[in-house]
Amino acid sequence: MRITTALTALTLLPTALLAGNHALQTPVEYGPRPAYLVDKLPEGALKDKLASCMGQTPQQTAFSIGHRGAPLLFPEHTVESNVAAARMGAGILECDVTFTADHELVCRHAQNDLHTTTNILVSDLADKCTADFTPAAEDSAASAECRTSDLTLAEFQTLTPKMDSADKTATTAEEYQGGVAPFRTQLYSDGAHLMTHAESIALFKSLGAKFTPELKSPSVEMPHNGFSQEDYAQKMIEEYKAAGVPASDVWAQSFNLDDVLYWIKAEPEFGKQAVYLVEWSDGFDEQDQSTWSQDFAQLKAQGVEYIGASLNMLLTNEDGKLAASAYAKAAKAADMKLIAWTLERSGPLASGGGWYFRSVGDIISDDSDYLVALDVLAQDAGVEGVFSDWPATVTYYANCMGL
C-alpha cells in the first residue's frame, strides 16, 4: 500500500517502512561490528584511541556515507537498506539514478542490473528484458540482461528486489536468482521495497540525512526517444528543487565529466558540490602523475571541487604500511576535496581485499585493516567522507575522532 504524507506531495513508500516517524525516534546504533574490528587491531595508538570510545553515544555524521544504503546485509537501493544505514549514523545517503522507458528516475546501480538485483527473470515481465535468460552450457556461463529502460515506471514498481547476485552455473531462471556472495546474507531480503529517485529524496529527508545521487551512464543510446543526456542530468536536479532540498545538502555525482560541467554551468548552486567520480584503470599508478588522467589544476579551473576516487587510488604501500598515495596527496595539495569509495565492500580481508585494495593487497592481513585504511584516508589523505557498505564502522571512527 502506498500513501501520501505531509512530508512531501510525492507518492511515498509503504507506511510501515517510511521513516518519517519511526527512524527519527530510533537512536543511532553501532551494533557489534565496530567493536569487533577494534578488538582485531594490533596493539598500538590507533587501537588505544578507538577502544577509548567504546562508551560514546553514537551520532549521525556526514563523514559516513551509505553506499547504496547498507548492502552488506540488505538489498541495495531499497527502503530497508537506507533505513539501516541511517540507523548506523550515515549522514549522507546515495541513490544511483537511472531511468525507465517513460523516463522516470529510479534508484538502481546500473540501468541494466535488474536481472541480478530483482526477481524480473521469474516474473511476468521477463519477456520484456533486452536479453532473455540463457542457461549455462559447457563453454558459457548463464546470462541475461534486463534494463530499467525495458519497463515503464508502473512495471518497475511491481518488481521485488533481492541481494545483487547471479548463479552463473544456472540452467534455469530460478537457479540464476542465487549466487549471493558468501560474506553477504539473505536474512534481510524478505519484503524489501524499491524506490524511485523522488521517493528516495523524501525518505532520506525524513531520516535527517543529506543526499548524494549518482547519475548513472545509460545503457541505451542517447538521446533516448527524445530524452537527452542534458535532460537526464537536469531532471535529477529538478527533483531536489521540487522537494525543497537546498543545494548545499546535495552532492551530485557522475563518472561523466560532461555531466559535472553541465551542473556547474546550468545549476551553479548544485554544481558547487558536484562530484567527479574516478576509478582505478589498467595502467594507473598512484605514484606516477603521467598515468592519472586527471589534471587537478584544469579541473579546478572548470569549477570542479570534488573528486570521488576508489580506495585503490588513494592507498599505497609505504615501507610495508598503509599510507596515502601520491595521487591522494597531490589532490589534497591542489585543494581538491576527496571522497573515498567503498569501504567494507570486499568482504573479509584475509585474502588481500580484492579490487578495492589492489594497490595494497600485499600488506592487507585481516579485517582490522578496514580501520587502518580508514585512519589513513581521514588523517593522511584528508578525505571529506567515506562510502561504506556497512556505515557503522565509518560512523564509529568519525565520532571517535571528532570528524
> Torsion angle of alpha carbons 13, 19, 21, 23, nearest 10°?
160
pLDDT at 26: 54
pLDDT at 5: 33
In 3-state terms, what secondary structure has residue 346?
coil
What digits encode the pLDDT tens for the residues 256-309?
999 999 999 999 999 999 999 999 998 999 989 999 999 999 999 999 999 999
Cβ distance 393 to 371 under 8 Å?
Answer: yes
Q: Which residues contact 366 (CB under 8 A, 6 or more apart)?
A: 40, 348, 349, 350
Quote the percentage of the chain above a pLDDT of 70: 94
Q: Which three cell numbers stand for residue 152?
A: 515503464
**167 CB burial (10 A radius; 0-12, 13-18, 19+):** middle
Give CA–CA dist 86/91, Å, rounded.
7
What digits encode the pLDDT tens for the residues 212-228?
999 999 999 999 999 99
pLDDT at 70: 98
Kindly indicate the confidence band of residue 25, based on its pLDDT and cuts at 50, 70 and 90. Answer: very low
Lowest mean pLDDT among 121-130, 139-148, 151-160, 288-297: 288-297
Kindly indicate the confidence band of residue 27, based on its pLDDT and cuts at 50, 70 and 90. Answer: confident
**Domains within the chain, CATH numbers bracketed:** 19-95+195-401 (3.20.20.190), 112-176 (no CATH)
Give CA–CA dist 376/69, Å, rounded.
24
Amino acid residing at 24: L
pLDDT at 197: 98
**295 CB burial (10 A radius; 0-12, 13-18, 19+):** exposed
pLDDT at 6: 28
Which is higher by pLDDT, 154 or 22? 154
Strands (E), 245-394: 253-254, 275-278, 306-310, 315-318, 321-324, 337-343, 385-388
Cβ distance 216 to 105 under 8 Å?
Answer: no
Q: Cis link prior to 342 (omega < 30° from 0)? A: yes
Mean pLDDT of all residues in 186-200: 96
Cβ distance 316 to 324 under 8 Å?
Answer: yes
pLDDT at 13: 45
Lowest mean pLDDT among 7-11, 50-54, 57-61, 101-105: 7-11
pLDDT at 113: 98
Strand pairing class (61-66; 105-107): unpaired
Kindly indicate the confidence band of residue 351, based on its pLDDT and cuts at 50, 70 and 90. Answer: confident
Question: Which secondary structure element, helix H or strand E, spans residue 210, and what is its range?
Answer: strand 210-211
Q: Cis link prior to 223 (omega < 30° from 0)? A: yes
Answer yes or no: is pLDDT of 339 > 60.
yes
Q: What is the pTM of this model?
A: 0.94
What are φ and ψ of residue 70, in 5° steps? -135, 65
